[in-house]
Amino acid sequence: MKKVLVVEDDKFLRKIIKRKLSAEGYEVLEAVDGEEGIRMAKGKKPDLILLDLVLPEITGFEVLAKLKEKGPVSEIPVIILSNLSGVEEIRKGIKMGAADYLVKAHFNPSEIILKMELVFGKNKK
């Protein structure tokens, strides 16, 4: 069973994503802020991380930078899931090492799973 860490401060959205991922057979870990997300990533070593950018304490970009530093979690694929939809944010996220960047308003949970499966497929090669 693949393990997915959802780093999202919005409780309602986190619950929707967790319900859909669990129904699809994923083990879901949850973090409500960036610091907790980093700790969980390092401690639980998920197979993939869904990361919001607008988080309390530290931003998702700061989380991504820490996760992509050389070390045991740097190879974990990260999909950014954010309401920030500017070209600059998207470019920055991809340049920093995100596997994909999804704008929340444009994707439903089924489409998120589709993107996750594409990322998992890329990482098998």
Across 60-68, average pLDDT = 97
Q: If pLDDT is split at 50, 70 and 90, which confidence band does 89 have?
A: very high
CATH number of residue 106's parent domain: 3.40.50.2300
* In a domain? residue 67: yes
- Domain assignment present for 123: no
Domain membership of residue 42 (yes or no) is yes
Buried b or exposed e, range 78-94, using 16+ CB within 10 angstroms: bbbbbebeeeebbebbe
**Lowest-confidence segment of 32-36, 37-41, 56-60, 109-113 by average pLDDT:** 109-113
Per-residue pLDDT, averaged over 1-30, amounts to: 96
87: in domain: yes
Rounded to 5°, the CA angle 68-70-76 comes to: 45
What mean pLDDT is predicted for residues 50-70? 96
> Is residue 79 included in any domain, yes or no?
yes
- Domain assignment present for residue 124? The answer is no
Written as six digits, the tokens of 34 are: 């960036």
Higher-pLDDT residue of 105 and 58 is 58
Residue 28 lies in a domain: yes
Segment 98-114 shows an average pLDDT of 91
The number of distinct structural domains making up the chain is 1
Residue 106: give the domain boundaries: 3-118
Task: Indicate whether 123 pLDDT > 80.
Answer: no
State mean pLDDT over 48-72: 96
CA distances from 16 to 57, 58, 60, 65, 94 (A): 23, 23, 20, 27, 25
